[in-house]
Structure 1
Amino acid sequence: MAVTLMIGYPRGARFDVEYYLGTHLALAGDAWKRFGMGAWRVTTAGASTEGDGEEGEAASPFAALVEIDWPSREALRRARAETPPEHARRLADDIANYTDAAPVVWVMEQRAGGA
């Protein structure tokens, strides 16, 4: 079953979306594409973050949310376990270049979709 790696960057933390899009995602792709890393999406909090969203709309707990699709949980496990140490180190060391907060990371199973 396909899965999505979810990475949330907490609201109130520094998050340089331009750096993330222009540099960090390329590093992730270099390290993970061969393991099956698929489509990715980066979304950032909109108006509701400031408290002026639609009535009943909660403020996002995240400044940014990253979704990375994988063909299976096993493919994601392999990427995490088998990424060469130098690539893993580069990814980890790069985090300080775009945020000052620890991300919240979880995995969701893909059940259905549409357009």
Structure 2
Amino acid sequence: MTSTQKIAAVVAYPAKHPESGEPLAFDMEYYLASHMPMIEKAWGPYGLKSWSINTFADPCPLTGEKPPYLVQTTCYFDSVEDLRMAMRKGSEETRSDVEKFSNVFPVLWVGERRGRNVLEGENEGTAQA
């Protein structure tokens, strides 16, 4: 089994500003309508394959606690080299755009996808590595 989406760049927005403690203010409408199309345009030529966004309820419906992050976007690339190139050559405009939708700058993790299985919808039940 092979996958064309091997690298996940996770961009996570903390629930509060790390220095001031101010709660995250996040304009999801702007993020979806303006920032993510900008990301596609800037990073697409350097190997961006797809992206997804998750939001986390405050408080968490399972624990009742405040989650450490409220918004998380995952961008998929074939390789770390593609991600590096996208960030080096395609991030100048996108980095300065963050202040238009968030009062907190995100943190970034880079991981390698080790497995995937879609249980419903397209490719139902197809395991991928």
TM range (shorter): 0.7 to 0.9
User: Do 2:59 and 2:67's aligned partners in 1 also have CA atoms closer than 8 Å?
Assistant: no
Equivalence for 2:40? 29
Higher relative contact order (CA 8 A, sep 6+): 1
Matches within 5 A, 1:73-92: 73-83=80-90, 88-92=91-95
What TM-score, normalized by structure 2, do the two folds share? 0.75
Structure 2: where are the runs of 5+ without partners? Answer: 16-22, 119-129
Residue of 81, 101, 106 corresponding to 1:103: 106
Equivalence for 1:70? 77
Identical amino acids, percent of aligned pairs: 25
Greater helix fraction, Structure 1 or Structure 2: 1
Q: Distance in 2 between matches of 1:107 and 1:2?
A: 11
Figure out how many residues of one structure are paired with residues of the other and give that number.
107
1:17 correspondence with 2:28: yes
- Aligned CA RMSD, in angstroms, stands at 1.7
Matches within 5 A, 1:53-68: 53-54=61-62, 56=63, 59-68=66-75
Return the index of the structure with the highest Cα Rg: 2
Structure 1: where are the runs of 5+ without partners? Answer: none
Q: CA deviation at 1:109?
A: 0.7
User: Do 1:15 and 1:63's aligned partners in 2 also have CA atoms closer than 8 Å?
Assistant: no
Could you list the structure 1 runs, at least 4 aligned residues long, displaced by more than 6 angstroms after superposition.
none
Equivalence for 2:96? 93
